[in-house]
A and B are shown apart, each in its own frame.
Chain A
Amino acid sequence: MVDFSWVPRSPLEKALVTGAHGARGIEAGVSLTEIRNFDLVQVMARRGKAAELAKAAKARFGVAAPNAPKAILASDATLICSGPDQFFVLSKGGKHTMPTLVPALSGPASLSDQSHARVLISISGARARTILAKLSSIDLHATAFPIGAAAATSMDHTSVTLWRGRDRPDGKAVFNLLVFATFAESLWHTMLDAAAEYGVDISHSEELG
């Protein structure tokens, strides 16, 4: 009998090497941080139950769930639009997991645990928009993509969910990106290549931005 170890490991475990990458001798223009150990549940309204789901979500999170490409910050979760009548619940510390959300939302919605199916990457720094512009066709200018704006889009032919989080303490914009675990390493290398000329600061964190 084989003993299995069920300890969760990041799909970027091998690709992610913390520290400085790319151009040296300059202040890193881009910070790439993998956020680890989060809870992520996808909620999709059952046919014709979108209004009922909106009501149940409001009761559960205290804020209205997004019905447009937006990320809504609730007190202990972020609700991110992932398409029509569907959204992600992103949280930490077991507050919003399948066992706690199913009783509240499974009437009007189908739920699916994506915690270990996606990788969450935070991109920030003075050149964050510049490198994202190499990979994305979305207009990320502050006026077009303010805090809380979200987009289901493609980067390097890979499906991603992108949204703008709260600014860093130094005022720099923060972009969060959810990507399928199996595509994460490939997209990570693409981002490193795109960012290398500006200097990259690579890290991982347990904190949601």
Chain B
Amino acid sequence: MRIVCPFCGERELGEFTYLGDAKPVRPEAGASEDEVFDYVYLRDNVAGQTSEYWYHGGGCRAWLKVTRNTLTHEISSVEPAAGAGATKVGA
């Protein structure tokens, strides 16, 4: 699998580290215990399109949000995660 880093271009998988599911959104302060439990522990085991965080530690050290198909490993989009080189997003 190769990932096209928006800053570096296409690089081999070895330069990247998988962080995890990019779907869960941190609950607001005051959220119920169930909501926090869901956010911390519960993950979908998706067969198909998923959204994941990857870290380009072997390259530009940017955090990336990758949309990937778990059945085919096809990557449909790679974008900087919020806060990572954010000035370049959409520029």
Chain A positions within 8 Å of B, measured between CB atoms, are 45, 47-48, 50-51, 67-69, 82-85, 137, 151-154, 159
Instruction: Tell me which of A45, A48, A137, A151 has the highest count of chain B C-beta atoms within 10 A of its own C-beta.
Output: A137
Q: Complex Cα distance A45/B11, Å?
A: 24
| B62 pairs with A153, CB closer than 8 A | no
B88 and A85 within 8 A (CB): yes
Residues of B contacting A151 in the complex (Cβ-Cβ under 8 angstroms): 8, 59
Known A-B contacts A137-B12, A154-B59; A83 and B87 likewise in contact (beta carbons under 8 Å):
no
Report A-chain residues with C-beta under 8 Å of the C-beta of B9. Answer: 69
Chain B residue nearest in CB terms to A137 = B12
Please tell me if the beta carbons of B88 and A50 are within 8 angstroms of each other in the complex: yes
Flag if A152 contacts B88 (CB, 8 Å).
no
A154–B80 touching, CB < 8 Å: no
- Output the nearest chain A residue to B7 by Cβ-Cβ distance: A84
Which residues of chain B come closer than 8 Å to A159, judged between CB atoms? 58
Chain A residue contacts of B14, Cβ below 8 A: 137, 154
Q: Find out whether the CB atom of B7 lies under 8 angstroms from the CB atom of A153.
A: no
- The interface residues of chain A, by DSSP majority, are classed as mixed
Alpha-carbon distance A152/B16, docked complex (angstroms): 13
- Given A48-B87, A50-B87, A152-B8, A83 and B15 touching (CB < 8 A)? no
Residues of B within 8 A of A154 (CB): 14-15, 58-59
Known: A84-B60, A84-B80. A153 touches B88 (CB 8 A): no
Closest to B88 in A: A84
Nearest-CB residue, chain B, relative to A49: B87
Known pairs A84-B85, A152-B60, A154-B58; list 19 more (Cβ under 8 Å): A45-B87, A47-B86, A48-B87, A50-B88, A69-B9, A82-B60, A83-B7, A83-B60, A83-B61, A84-B7, A84-B88, A137-B14, A152-B8, A152-B61, A153-B11, A153-B15, A153-B58, A154-B15, A154-B59
Which of A51, A82, A152 contacts B87, CB < 8 Å? Answer: A51
Flag whether B84 is at the interface (Cβ < 8 A). yes
A-B contact pairs, 21 of them (CB 8 A): A47-B86, A83-B7, A83-B59, A83-B61, A83-B85, A84-B60, A84-B62, A84-B80, A84-B88, A85-B85, A85-B87, A137-B15, A151-B8, A152-B59, A152-B60, A152-B61, A153-B8, A153-B11, A153-B59, A154-B59, A159-B58
Given the complex of chains A and B, what is the CA–CA distance between A48 and B80 in angstroms? 15
- Alpha-carbon gap, A67 to B6, bound state (A): 12
